[in-house]
Structure 1
Amino acid sequence: MQQEPLPRLQSDQRLYQVVARQLARMIEQNAGNRNWRMPSERELAEELGVSRPVIREAVIALEMRGIVEVKGRAGIVVLPARVSQVSFDLPDSDIGPGPFELLEARLAIEASAAALAAERATSYDLMVLEECIHQMERETNVVLLQEKGDRDFHMTIAKMTGNAIIVSMIETLWAQRDESVMWKKLHEHIHAESVRPLWIGDHHAILSALRLRNPDAAYKAMARHIRNVINELMEADERGRFAPETASSEGTGR
Protein backbone atom coordinates (compact mmCIF):
# COMPACT_ATOMS: atom_id res chain seq x y z
CA MET A 1 0.00 0.00 0.00
CA GLN A 2 1.43 3.34 -1.05
CA GLN A 3 1.87 5.73 1.84
CA GLU A 4 1.28 9.47 1.74
CA PRO A 5 4.44 11.60 1.54
CA LEU A 6 6.11 12.42 4.82
CA PRO A 7 5.25 15.94 6.00
CA ARG A 8 7.91 18.61 6.15
CA LEU A 9 9.60 18.61 9.54
CA GLN A 10 8.90 21.46 11.90
CA SER A 11 11.65 22.75 14.16
CA ASP A 12 10.33 20.88 17.19
CA GLN A 13 9.78 17.53 15.45
CA ARG A 14 12.06 14.55 15.20
CA LEU A 15 11.98 12.58 11.97
CA TYR A 16 11.63 9.23 13.72
CA GLN A 17 8.47 10.52 15.45
CA VAL A 18 6.93 11.47 12.11
CA VAL A 19 7.82 8.06 10.71
CA ALA A 20 6.49 6.29 13.83
CA ARG A 21 3.10 7.97 13.27
CA GLN A 22 3.16 6.75 9.67
CA LEU A 23 3.89 3.19 10.81
CA ALA A 24 1.19 3.35 13.50
CA ARG A 25 -1.36 4.44 10.87
CA MET A 26 -0.17 1.64 8.58
CA ILE A 27 -0.76 -0.90 11.36
CA GLU A 28 -4.18 0.55 12.17
CA GLN A 29 -5.28 0.50 8.53
CA ASN A 30 -4.35 -3.18 8.23
CA ALA A 31 -5.72 -4.26 11.61
CA GLY A 32 -8.51 -6.30 10.02
CA ASN A 33 -6.29 -8.10 7.53
CA ARG A 34 -5.07 -11.37 9.03
CA ASN A 35 -2.71 -11.98 6.11
CA TRP A 36 -0.94 -8.65 6.48
CA ARG A 37 2.55 -8.61 7.93
CA MET A 38 4.68 -5.62 8.80
CA PRO A 39 7.20 -4.99 5.99
CA SER A 40 10.89 -5.32 6.74
CA GLU A 41 12.95 -2.29 7.72
CA ARG A 42 14.52 -2.20 4.26
CA GLU A 43 11.11 -2.27 2.59
CA LEU A 44 9.77 0.43 4.90
CA ALA A 45 12.78 2.64 4.24
CA GLU A 46 12.25 2.34 0.49
CA GLU A 47 8.49 2.87 0.73
CA LEU A 48 8.68 5.93 2.98
CA GLY A 49 11.79 7.41 1.39
CA VAL A 50 13.89 7.61 4.56
CA SER A 51 17.04 5.88 5.77
CA ARG A 52 17.07 2.56 7.61
CA PRO A 53 18.42 4.19 10.79
CA VAL A 54 15.33 6.43 10.90
CA ILE A 55 13.10 3.38 10.41
CA ARG A 56 14.95 1.58 13.21
CA GLU A 57 14.44 4.55 15.55
CA ALA A 58 10.73 4.72 14.67
CA VAL A 59 10.34 0.99 15.31
CA ILE A 60 12.06 1.36 18.69
CA ALA A 61 9.63 4.16 19.57
CA LEU A 62 6.68 1.90 18.71
CA GLU A 63 8.25 -1.03 20.56
CA MET A 64 8.57 1.07 23.69
CA ARG A 65 4.84 1.81 23.49
CA GLY A 66 3.90 -1.86 23.20
CA ILE A 67 2.74 -1.67 19.59
CA VAL A 68 5.39 -3.87 18.00
CA GLU A 69 8.14 -6.22 19.06
CA VAL A 70 11.36 -6.91 17.16
CA LYS A 71 12.07 -10.64 17.13
CA GLY A 72 15.38 -11.03 15.38
CA ARG A 73 15.07 -12.78 12.03
CA ALA A 74 11.29 -12.93 12.44
CA GLY A 75 11.25 -9.18 11.91
CA ILE A 76 8.77 -6.64 13.26
CA VAL A 77 5.82 -8.33 14.93
CA VAL A 78 2.67 -6.29 15.60
CA LEU A 79 1.28 -6.74 19.13
CA PRO A 80 -2.34 -6.26 20.23
CA ALA A 81 -2.66 -2.54 20.92
CA ARG A 82 -5.01 0.38 20.44
CA VAL A 83 -2.86 2.11 17.88
CA SER A 84 -5.33 4.93 17.32
CA GLN A 85 -4.65 6.16 20.86
CA VAL A 86 -0.90 6.42 20.36
CA SER A 87 0.26 10.02 20.06
CA PHE A 88 3.69 11.46 19.41
CA ASP A 89 2.41 15.03 19.66
CA LEU A 90 1.96 15.31 23.42
CA PRO A 91 4.44 17.52 25.31
CA ASP A 92 5.74 14.56 27.33
CA SER A 93 5.99 12.17 24.40
CA ASP A 94 9.51 13.19 23.31
CA ILE A 95 11.87 10.42 24.38
CA GLY A 96 14.92 12.27 23.15
CA PRO A 97 17.12 12.16 20.07
CA GLY A 98 17.36 8.90 18.20
CA PRO A 99 20.46 6.70 18.70
CA PHE A 100 21.56 7.06 15.09
CA GLU A 101 21.06 10.83 15.24
CA LEU A 102 23.47 10.88 18.17
CA LEU A 103 25.95 8.67 16.35
CA GLU A 104 25.78 10.91 13.29
CA ALA A 105 26.62 13.89 15.50
CA ARG A 106 29.46 11.98 17.15
CA LEU A 107 30.82 11.05 13.73
CA ALA A 108 30.92 14.70 12.69
CA ILE A 109 32.41 16.03 15.92
CA GLU A 110 34.63 13.28 17.28
CA ALA A 111 36.36 12.52 13.97
CA SER A 112 37.33 16.17 13.64
CA ALA A 113 38.38 16.22 17.30
CA ALA A 114 40.66 13.23 16.69
CA ALA A 115 42.32 15.05 13.78
CA LEU A 116 42.98 18.10 15.96
CA ALA A 117 44.18 15.91 18.84
CA ALA A 118 46.73 14.27 16.54
CA GLU A 119 48.38 17.64 16.03
CA ARG A 120 48.55 18.35 19.75
CA ALA A 121 49.15 14.93 21.29
CA THR A 122 51.75 14.63 24.04
CA SER A 123 53.51 11.50 25.22
CA TYR A 124 51.48 11.68 28.42
CA ASP A 125 48.20 11.83 26.46
CA LEU A 126 49.16 8.72 24.52
CA MET A 127 49.98 6.83 27.72
CA VAL A 128 46.57 7.79 29.16
CA LEU A 129 44.83 6.50 26.02
CA GLU A 130 46.78 3.26 26.18
CA GLU A 131 45.68 2.76 29.78
CA CYS A 132 42.06 3.42 28.77
CA ILE A 133 42.28 0.59 26.24
CA HIS A 134 43.82 -1.72 28.84
CA GLN A 135 40.93 -0.90 31.13
CA MET A 136 38.44 -1.71 28.35
CA GLU A 137 40.15 -5.06 27.87
CA ARG A 138 39.81 -5.78 31.61
CA GLU A 139 36.12 -4.80 31.73
CA THR A 140 34.88 -8.04 30.19
CA ASN A 141 32.18 -8.49 32.83
CA VAL A 142 30.96 -4.90 32.66
CA VAL A 143 27.86 -3.87 30.71
CA LEU A 144 29.25 -2.08 27.66
CA LEU A 145 27.03 0.94 28.24
CA GLN A 146 28.78 1.43 31.59
CA GLU A 147 32.38 0.89 30.50
CA LYS A 148 34.55 3.58 32.04
CA GLY A 149 37.54 2.87 29.82
CA ASP A 150 35.58 3.60 26.65
CA ARG A 151 34.22 6.93 27.87
CA ASP A 152 37.60 7.97 29.27
CA PHE A 153 39.26 7.18 25.94
CA HIS A 154 36.92 9.41 23.95
CA MET A 155 36.91 12.20 26.52
CA THR A 156 40.73 12.15 26.69
CA ILE A 157 40.86 12.75 22.94
CA ALA A 158 38.36 15.59 23.32
CA LYS A 159 40.57 17.21 25.98
CA MET A 160 43.66 16.73 23.84
CA THR A 161 42.22 19.27 21.40
CA GLY A 162 42.63 22.00 24.01
CA ASN A 163 39.26 23.37 22.90
CA ALA A 164 36.73 23.74 25.74
CA ILE A 165 33.78 24.00 23.34
CA ILE A 166 34.67 20.70 21.67
CA VAL A 167 35.02 19.07 25.09
CA SER A 168 31.61 20.41 26.14
CA MET A 169 29.94 19.21 22.92
CA ILE A 170 31.34 15.69 23.22
CA GLU A 171 30.46 15.50 26.93
CA THR A 172 26.90 16.50 26.04
CA LEU A 173 26.59 13.83 23.35
CA TRP A 174 27.80 11.12 25.73
CA ALA A 175 25.47 12.34 28.46
CA GLN A 176 22.54 12.19 26.04
CA ARG A 177 23.53 8.66 25.09
CA ASP A 178 23.66 7.56 28.72
CA GLU A 179 20.24 9.08 29.47
CA SER A 180 18.53 7.75 26.33
CA VAL A 181 15.99 5.00 26.87
CA MET A 182 16.08 4.40 23.11
CA TRP A 183 19.79 3.52 23.34
CA LYS A 184 19.07 0.92 25.97
CA LYS A 185 16.22 -0.57 23.94
CA LEU A 186 18.24 -0.69 20.74
CA HIS A 187 21.19 -2.40 22.43
CA GLU A 188 19.12 -5.15 24.05
CA HIS A 189 19.58 -7.27 20.94
CA ILE A 190 23.35 -6.99 20.65
CA HIS A 191 25.53 -9.78 22.03
CA ALA A 192 28.28 -7.90 23.85
CA GLU A 193 31.02 -10.50 23.43
CA SER A 194 30.51 -10.50 19.65
CA VAL A 195 31.28 -6.83 19.22
CA ARG A 196 33.76 -6.08 22.00
CA PRO A 197 36.89 -7.30 20.09
CA LEU A 198 35.96 -5.24 17.01
CA TRP A 199 35.45 -2.04 18.97
CA ILE A 200 38.59 -2.50 21.08
CA GLY A 201 40.50 -3.04 17.84
CA ASP A 202 39.07 0.24 16.55
CA HIS A 203 40.45 2.03 19.61
CA HIS A 204 43.90 0.55 19.01
CA ALA A 205 43.75 1.88 15.43
CA ILE A 206 42.80 5.37 16.66
CA LEU A 207 45.69 5.34 19.13
CA SER A 208 48.13 4.23 16.43
CA ALA A 209 47.08 7.16 14.22
CA LEU A 210 47.50 9.58 17.12
CA ARG A 211 50.98 8.21 17.84
CA LEU A 212 51.91 9.06 14.26
CA ARG A 213 50.63 12.61 14.83
CA ASN A 214 48.74 12.12 11.55
CA PRO A 215 45.49 14.18 11.53
CA ASP A 216 44.09 12.51 8.40
CA ALA A 217 44.72 9.00 9.72
CA ALA A 218 43.24 9.92 13.11
CA TYR A 219 40.13 11.38 11.47
CA LYS A 220 39.63 8.25 9.36
CA ALA A 221 40.26 5.88 12.28
CA MET A 222 37.70 7.61 14.50
CA ALA A 223 35.17 7.85 11.66
CA ARG A 224 35.67 4.15 10.88
CA HIS A 225 35.04 3.24 14.52
CA ILE A 226 31.78 5.17 14.76
CA ARG A 227 30.62 3.81 11.39
CA ASN A 228 31.40 0.30 12.68
CA VAL A 229 29.15 0.99 15.68
CA ILE A 230 26.38 2.23 13.37
CA ASN A 231 26.72 -0.80 11.09
CA GLU A 232 26.76 -3.24 14.00
CA LEU A 233 23.61 -1.76 15.49
CA MET A 234 21.89 -1.84 12.11
CA GLU A 235 22.96 -5.33 11.06
CA ALA A 236 22.86 -7.25 14.33
CA ASP A 237 19.67 -9.07 13.36
CA GLU A 238 21.00 -10.11 9.98
CA ARG A 239 24.23 -11.40 11.51
CA GLY A 240 22.35 -13.53 13.99
CA ARG A 241 23.78 -11.79 17.02
CA PHE A 242 20.51 -11.38 18.82
CA ALA A 243 20.95 -13.01 22.20
CA PRO A 244 17.79 -12.43 24.28
CA GLU A 245 18.93 -14.90 26.88
CA THR A 246 21.97 -12.75 27.67
CA ALA A 247 20.61 -9.28 26.96
CA SER A 248 19.49 -8.65 30.51
CA SER A 249 22.86 -9.62 31.96
CA GLU A 250 25.22 -8.18 29.36
CA GLY A 251 23.55 -5.22 27.67
CA THR A 252 25.61 -3.05 25.36
CA GLY A 253 26.47 0.46 24.38
CA ARG A 254 29.11 2.51 22.78
Structure 2
Amino acid sequence: MDIRQSSGVYVIRMPNDAAEDDDSLLHSEVGPFEMLQARQLLESNIAAFAAKMATKADIENLRRTLEQEQRAIIANDESGDNDKMFHLLIAGATQNQMLLDTVKSLWQRRDASPLWQQLHSRIATKGYRLKWLADHQNILAALRRRDVMGSYQAMWQHMENIKGTLMELSDVDAPEFDGYLFESVPIFQGKLV
Protein backbone atom coordinates (compact mmCIF):
# COMPACT_ATOMS: atom_id res chain seq x y z
CA MET A 1 0.00 0.00 0.00
CA ASP A 2 1.04 3.55 -0.65
CA ILE A 3 -0.61 6.30 1.40
CA ARG A 4 -0.47 9.73 -0.24
CA GLN A 5 -1.53 12.81 1.65
CA SER A 6 -4.57 14.49 0.10
CA SER A 7 -4.71 11.79 -2.55
CA GLY A 8 -5.69 8.53 -0.92
CA VAL A 9 -4.51 4.99 -0.34
CA TYR A 10 -3.23 3.00 -3.31
CA VAL A 11 -2.76 -0.76 -3.43
CA ILE A 12 0.63 -1.35 -5.01
CA ARG A 13 0.74 -5.13 -4.78
CA MET A 14 -1.65 -7.80 -3.65
CA PRO A 15 -0.09 -10.89 -2.11
CA ASN A 16 -0.64 -13.93 -4.33
CA ASP A 17 -1.23 -16.22 -1.42
CA ALA A 18 -0.24 -16.81 2.20
CA ALA A 19 2.40 -19.36 1.19
CA GLU A 20 4.27 -16.70 -0.79
CA ASP A 21 4.29 -14.39 2.22
CA ASP A 22 5.49 -17.22 4.48
CA ASP A 23 8.23 -18.04 1.98
CA SER A 24 9.42 -14.43 1.79
CA LEU A 25 9.57 -14.27 5.58
CA LEU A 26 11.67 -17.42 5.68
CA HIS A 27 14.16 -15.94 3.24
CA SER A 28 14.43 -12.43 4.66
CA GLU A 29 17.82 -12.21 6.29
CA VAL A 30 17.92 -11.76 10.03
CA GLY A 31 21.27 -11.72 11.79
CA PRO A 32 22.15 -14.48 14.26
CA PHE A 33 22.19 -12.17 17.26
CA GLU A 34 18.86 -10.58 16.38
CA MET A 35 17.49 -14.10 16.11
CA LEU A 36 18.96 -15.08 19.49
CA GLN A 37 17.54 -11.98 21.12
CA ALA A 38 14.06 -12.90 19.88
CA ARG A 39 14.51 -16.49 20.98
CA GLN A 40 15.74 -15.41 24.40
CA LEU A 41 12.75 -13.16 25.02
CA LEU A 42 10.20 -15.67 23.73
CA GLU A 43 11.63 -19.00 24.85
CA SER A 44 12.39 -17.83 28.40
CA ASN A 45 8.74 -16.95 28.86
CA ILE A 46 7.64 -20.14 27.14
CA ALA A 47 9.82 -22.16 29.54
CA ALA A 48 8.22 -20.37 32.49
CA PHE A 49 4.74 -21.18 31.19
CA ALA A 50 5.74 -24.78 30.46
CA ALA A 51 6.78 -25.16 34.10
CA LYS A 52 3.11 -24.78 35.02
CA MET A 53 1.57 -26.65 32.10
CA ALA A 54 3.90 -29.62 31.42
CA THR A 55 2.52 -33.11 31.88
CA LYS A 56 4.41 -36.12 33.17
CA ALA A 57 4.68 -37.33 29.55
CA ASP A 58 6.15 -33.97 28.48
CA ILE A 59 8.84 -34.21 31.15
CA GLU A 60 9.62 -37.80 30.15
CA ASN A 61 9.95 -36.82 26.47
CA LEU A 62 12.32 -34.01 27.42
CA ARG A 63 14.39 -36.39 29.56
CA ARG A 64 14.66 -38.92 26.71
CA THR A 65 15.67 -36.19 24.28
CA LEU A 66 18.47 -35.09 26.60
CA GLU A 67 19.68 -38.70 26.87
CA GLN A 68 19.80 -38.86 23.06
CA GLU A 69 21.60 -35.52 22.94
CA GLN A 70 24.20 -36.76 25.42
CA ARG A 71 24.77 -39.98 23.44
CA ALA A 72 25.15 -37.98 20.23
CA ILE A 73 27.72 -35.66 21.82
CA ILE A 74 29.74 -38.58 23.19
CA ALA A 75 29.66 -40.26 19.75
CA ASN A 76 30.60 -36.92 18.13
CA ASP A 77 27.46 -37.22 16.02
CA GLU A 78 26.28 -33.79 14.89
CA SER A 79 23.59 -35.06 12.53
CA GLY A 80 20.72 -35.16 15.02
CA ASP A 81 18.21 -32.49 15.88
CA ASN A 82 18.14 -33.11 19.64
CA ASP A 83 18.79 -29.46 20.46
CA LYS A 84 15.93 -28.33 18.24
CA MET A 85 13.68 -31.12 19.53
CA PHE A 86 14.35 -30.10 23.15
CA HIS A 87 13.25 -26.53 22.48
CA LEU A 88 10.19 -27.64 20.50
CA LEU A 89 9.19 -30.07 23.26
CA ILE A 90 9.31 -27.25 25.81
CA ALA A 91 7.04 -25.15 23.60
CA GLY A 92 4.75 -28.16 23.19
CA ALA A 93 4.66 -28.60 26.96
CA THR A 94 2.80 -25.29 27.21
CA GLN A 95 -0.20 -27.09 25.62
CA ASN A 96 -0.53 -24.01 23.40
CA GLN A 97 -0.32 -24.66 19.66
CA MET A 98 0.36 -21.01 18.85
CA LEU A 99 3.44 -20.97 21.08
CA LEU A 100 4.66 -24.22 19.53
CA ASP A 101 4.14 -22.81 16.02
CA THR A 102 6.06 -19.67 17.01
CA VAL A 103 9.07 -21.65 18.20
CA LYS A 104 8.91 -23.85 15.08
CA SER A 105 8.98 -20.70 12.98
CA LEU A 106 12.02 -19.38 14.84
CA TRP A 107 13.87 -22.64 14.19
CA GLN A 108 12.84 -22.66 10.52
CA ARG A 109 14.25 -19.15 10.17
CA ARG A 110 17.43 -20.24 11.93
CA ASP A 111 17.85 -23.32 9.74
CA ALA A 112 17.27 -21.26 6.57
CA SER A 113 19.69 -18.49 7.53
CA PRO A 114 23.04 -18.55 5.70
CA LEU A 115 24.49 -16.20 8.34
CA TRP A 116 23.44 -18.55 11.14
CA GLN A 117 24.80 -21.60 9.30
CA GLN A 118 28.11 -19.86 8.66
CA LEU A 119 28.51 -18.85 12.29
CA HIS A 120 27.27 -22.17 13.68
CA SER A 121 29.74 -24.09 11.48
CA ARG A 122 32.57 -22.64 13.58
CA ILE A 123 31.46 -24.65 16.60
CA ALA A 124 33.87 -27.54 16.23
CA THR A 125 34.41 -28.77 19.76
CA LYS A 126 32.42 -31.01 22.06
CA GLY A 127 33.02 -28.49 24.81
CA TYR A 128 30.37 -26.10 23.59
CA ARG A 129 27.84 -28.84 23.04
CA LEU A 130 28.50 -30.26 26.52
CA LYS A 131 28.04 -26.79 28.03
CA TRP A 132 24.71 -26.41 26.25
CA LEU A 133 23.67 -29.92 27.32
CA ALA A 134 24.32 -28.85 30.93
CA ASP A 135 22.12 -25.81 30.27
CA HIS A 136 19.39 -28.11 28.95
CA GLN A 137 19.69 -30.28 32.06
CA ASN A 138 19.26 -27.18 34.25
CA ILE A 139 16.16 -26.19 32.29
CA LEU A 140 14.70 -29.68 32.64
CA ALA A 141 15.44 -29.73 36.38
CA ALA A 142 13.53 -26.46 36.82
CA LEU A 143 10.63 -27.75 34.71
CA ARG A 144 10.48 -30.93 36.81
CA ARG A 145 10.25 -28.84 39.97
CA ARG A 146 7.51 -26.76 38.31
CA ASP A 147 9.72 -23.79 39.14
CA VAL A 148 8.39 -21.00 36.93
CA MET A 149 11.10 -18.45 37.72
CA GLY A 150 13.83 -21.10 37.69
CA SER A 151 12.70 -22.29 34.25
CA TYR A 152 12.69 -18.73 32.97
CA GLN A 153 16.15 -18.02 34.36
CA ALA A 154 17.63 -21.32 33.15
CA MET A 155 16.42 -20.68 29.60
CA TRP A 156 17.55 -17.06 29.74
CA GLN A 157 21.02 -18.15 30.87
CA HIS A 158 21.15 -20.84 28.17
CA MET A 159 20.57 -18.18 25.51
CA GLU A 160 23.19 -15.94 27.16
CA ASN A 161 25.68 -18.80 26.99
CA ILE A 162 24.93 -19.37 23.30
CA LYS A 163 25.30 -15.65 22.57
CA GLY A 164 28.60 -15.52 24.45
CA THR A 165 30.00 -18.47 22.54
CA LEU A 166 28.86 -17.15 19.17
CA MET A 167 30.26 -13.71 20.01
CA GLU A 168 33.67 -15.30 20.66
CA LEU A 169 33.51 -17.12 17.32
CA SER A 170 32.24 -14.17 15.29
CA ASP A 171 34.17 -12.04 12.87
CA VAL A 172 33.25 -8.69 14.41
CA ASP A 173 34.65 -6.84 11.39
CA ALA A 174 32.33 -8.61 8.95
CA PRO A 175 29.72 -6.23 7.49
CA GLU A 176 26.87 -8.58 8.42
CA PHE A 177 27.94 -8.85 12.09
CA ASP A 178 25.00 -7.79 14.25
CA GLY A 179 26.19 -8.81 17.71
CA TYR A 180 26.89 -5.29 18.92
CA LEU A 181 23.25 -4.34 18.29
CA PHE A 182 21.75 -6.97 20.54
CA GLU A 183 23.34 -6.85 23.96
CA SER A 184 21.64 -8.72 26.73
CA VAL A 185 18.73 -6.68 27.98
CA PRO A 186 17.24 -8.44 30.96
CA ILE A 187 13.56 -7.54 30.94
CA PHE A 188 12.37 -9.66 33.81
CA GLN A 189 14.42 -12.00 35.94
CA GLY A 190 12.50 -12.47 39.14
CA LYS A 191 11.88 -8.76 39.49
CA LEU A 192 11.44 -5.89 37.11
CA VAL A 193 14.86 -4.63 36.09
Query: Scaled by the length of structure 1, what TM-score is found?
Result: 0.53
Q: Secondary structure at the match of 1:112?
A: helix
Aligned to 2:109: 176
Query: Which residue pairs with 2:140 in the alignment?
Result: 207
SS at 1:110 equivalent: helix
Cα shift at 1:189: 2.4
- Aligned residue among 226, 233, 252 for 2:159: 226
CA distance in 2 between partners of 1:102 and 1:165 (Å): 19
1:156 counterpart = 2:89: yes
CA deviations over 1:39-59 (Å, ceiling 9, x no partner):
xxxxxxxxxxxxxxxxxxxxx
Counterpart mapping for 1:110-189 below 5 A = 110-140=43-73, 141-143=76-78, 146-189=79-122
Tell me the equivalent position of 1:235: 168
Give the superposition deviation at 1:108: 0.8
CA distance in 2, matches of 1:106, 1:113: 10
1:131 and 1:219 map into 2 onto residues whose CA distance is 21
Secondary structure of 1:139's counterpart equals: helix
Residue 142 of structure 1: how far off its partner (Å): 2.6
* Cα offset, 1:161, TM superposition: 0.8
Higher relative contact order (CA 8 A, sep 6+): 2
Structure 1 residue matching 2:162: 3-state secondary structure: helix
Aligned equivalents of 2:119, 2:81: Cα separation in 1: 20
How many residues align? The count is 143
- RMSD across aligned positions (CA): 1.7
Between the aligned partners of 1:169 and 1:189, the Cα distance in structure 2 is 27
Read off the aligned partner of 1:96 and give its amino acid letter: E
| 8 A Cα contact 2:66 2:137, kept in partner | yes
In the alignment, which residue of structure 2 is the partner of 1:109? 42
How much does 1:150 deviate? Answer: 1.2
Q: Distance in 1 between matches of 2:58 and 2:111?
A: 25
Of all paired residues, the percent bearing the same amino acid is: 37
SS of corresponding position for 2:123: coil
User: What is the CA distance between 1:165 and its match in structure 2?
Assistant: 1.4
Q: Give the residue type in structure 2 aligned to 1:142.
A: D
The 3-state SS of whatever aligns with 2:30 is: coil
Whole-Å Cα distance in 1 between the matches of residues 51 and 169 of structure 2? 32
- The question of 1:97 aligning with 2:21 is answered no
Q: Structure 1 residue 123: deviation in Å?
A: 1.5
Amino acid at match of 1:210: L
Shift of 1:95: 5.7
Which residue identity is paired with 1:114?
Answer: A
Gaps of 5+ in 1: 1-93, 239-254
**Structure 2 counterpart of 1:195:** 128
Letter in 2 for 1:148: D
Contact 1:95–1:181 (8 Å) recurs in 2: no
Aligned-pair CA distance for 1:236: 3.3
Cα distance in 1 for partners of 2:123, 2:81 equals 19
Q: Deviations over 1:104-126 (max 9, x none)?
A: 11001110000000001221111
